[in-house]
A = this chain, B = another copy of it.
Amino acid sequence: MEEISNTQQQILNVGKKEFLEHGFKGASLRQIVKQAGFTLGAFYGYYQSKEELFDALVKETADYIIVFIQEIYDEVKMYPSKERAGHMMDCFARRLPEIVDYLLEHSEELRLLLMKAEGTRYETFFETMAAISEKNVGENILWISRQNMTFRLLIHAYYRLLIQVVLGGGDRESVLKAMMDIQSFFYYGFQYFMKEENEQ
C-alpha cells in the first residue's frame, strides 16, 4: 500500500475535477495546484509530469477493464470450439452486473479514460479494449472471420453503449435494465448474423 498524504489526495481530487472539466490538454496545472492550495513546486514533488497525474487517476480502472474483458473471453474459451459463438453473449450477460457495479463506482475515471484522455497514452483506450475482443474472437471463435469488419464494429458498438449507459447518470437499476435490453437487442441481431453465415 502506498501512503498517500493529504497533499497528494488534494491534488488527485482537484486534478480529477479539472481533467473532467477541461480534458487533459485543456486542464492547467496552475489551476489545479492553486485550487488544491499548493504550489507548482509541490506538485512536482509527487508527479514528474502532468501526464503522470492523469495516469495515477486512471491506471487502476484501465487495468481492471482490460483484465475483465480478457477474463470473459477466457470463459468463452472453456466451451468447445464450435459452441463458442453461441455462448459469447451469455458470457457477457453473466458478468454484466459485476462490471456495471465496478464502472458505476469508477464512472469518473471511466469518463477520463474515454472522453478526456486526448494527449495522453490513453487516448486510444477504447480501441485497445476493442482490439482485445478482436484478437480473441479472431483466434477462437473461428467462423467469425477476422476480416469481418461488421462484426468488429458491432463489438465496438456494444462497448460504446455499455459506457454511455454507465456515464448517462442513471441509478444502478435503470443502468442494468438498459444494458439487459441492449443485450437482448444484440442477441436477436446476432441470430440474423449466424443464420446468414451458416447459409453461405
Contacts and interface: CB of A to CB of B under 8 A. Distances in A.
B192 A185 contact: yes
B188 A150 contact: no
Contact of A149 (B165, B184, B187, B189): B165
Interface string A134-151: 000000000000000110
A119 B161 CA distance: 25
Copies in the complex: 4
Interface stretch (A89-97, A101-109, A152-160): A152-160
Size bracket, chain A contacts: 20 to 34
Interface string A66-83: 000000000000000000
B149 A153 contact: no
Nearest to A147: B174
Given A149-B174, A185-B193, 11 more contacts: A26-B119, A118-B118, A150-B181, A150-B185, A153-B178, A154-B185, A157-B157, A157-B161, A181-B196, A185-B189, A186-B189
A185 B149 CA distance: 14
Contact of A153 (B26, B182, B188): B182
A75 to B, nearest CB: 24
Nearest to A170: B149
Contacts of A26: 25, 119
B170 A154 contact: no
A161 B165 contact: no
Contacts of A160: 157, 160
Contacts of A119: 26
Contacts of A177: 150
